[in-house]
Amino acid sequence: MGLHFPEPNVGPEVLLAVMGPTGSGKTSFVNLASGTSRDFSEDLPDRTADIQITGTFHLDGHRVRLIDTPGFDESQPGSNDADVLQEIAIFLEAIYRAGHKINGLLYFHRITDRRVSETLSQNLAMFRNLCGDEVLKNTFICTTMWDLMPLTTGEDREVELAHDLWAPMISKGASMVRHNGTEYTARTIIARMLDLPPITLQIQQELAVDNRTLMHTSAGAKVNKDIQRKEADLESLLIEAREDLQRAIEDNDMEMIKRIELEMRQYERSLKQIQAESQILARDQDQEIGELARRIRDLETGKCKDPWGTLRWAWQAVSAVSRPVK
Q: 255 and 147 in one domain?
A: no
Structural domain contains residue 295: no
CA distances (Å), origin 98, targets 12, 37, 119, 256, 324: 16, 29, 32, 59, 13
Q: How far is CA 65 from the centre of its chain?
A: 17
Residue 50 is assigned to a structural domain of this protein = yes
Is residue 87 within 8 Å of residue 70, measured between CB atoms?
Answer: yes
Q: DSSP 3-state assignment of 149?
A: coil
pLDDT band at 109 (very low <50, low <70, confident <90, very high): very high
Phi-psi label, residue 181: left if phi above 0, alpha if psi -120 to 50, beta otherwise: left
> What pLDDT is recorded for position 51?
84
**Which among 68, 73, 66, 29 is positioned nearest to 49, based on CA atoms?**
68
| Burial (CB count <10 Å: 0-12, 13-18, 19+), residue 250 | exposed
Q: Evaluate whether 187 touches 180 at the Cβ level (below 8 Å).
A: no
* Residue 243 shares a structural domain with residue 202: no
- Measure the CA–CA gap between 238 and 231, rounded to whole angstroms: 11
Task: Give the residue numbers spanning the domain of 254.
Answer: 214-282
Q: Give the torsion sign (CA, 90, 91, 96, 102).
A: negative
Banded pLDDT at 26 (limits 50, 70, 90): very high
203, 219 Cβ separation under 8 angstroms: yes
Which of the pair, 234 or 73, is modelled with greater confidence?
Answer: 234
More confidently predicted of 5 and 203: 203
Higher pLDDT pick, 298 / 122: 122
What is the rounded distance in angstroms from the CA atom of residue 76 to the CA atom of residue 79? 6
As a whole number of angstroms, the distance between CA 25 and CA 30 comes to 9
Do residues 97 and 321 lie in contact, with contact meaning Cβ atoms separated by under 8 Å?
A: yes
Weakest mean pLDDT among 210-224, 233-247, 273-287: 273-287
Distance CA 53, CA 65 (A): 7
Q: Does residue 203 sit in the same domain as residue 221?
A: no
* Residue 130 identity: L
Q: Which residue has the higher pLDDT, 122 or 49?
A: 122
**Total count of domains within the chain:** 2
Which of 188, 209, 230 terminates a domain? The answer is: 209
**Which whole number is the average pLDDT over 29-43?**
70
Q: Which residues is 67 bridged to in the sheet?
A: 17, 53
> Does residue 183 sit in the same domain as residue 256?
no
Domain match, 236 and 203 both = no
Q: Are 121 and 168 in contact (CB under 8 A)?
A: no
Do 136 and 23 lie in a common domain?
A: yes
Are 18 and 108 in contact, with CB atoms under 8 Å apart?
Answer: yes
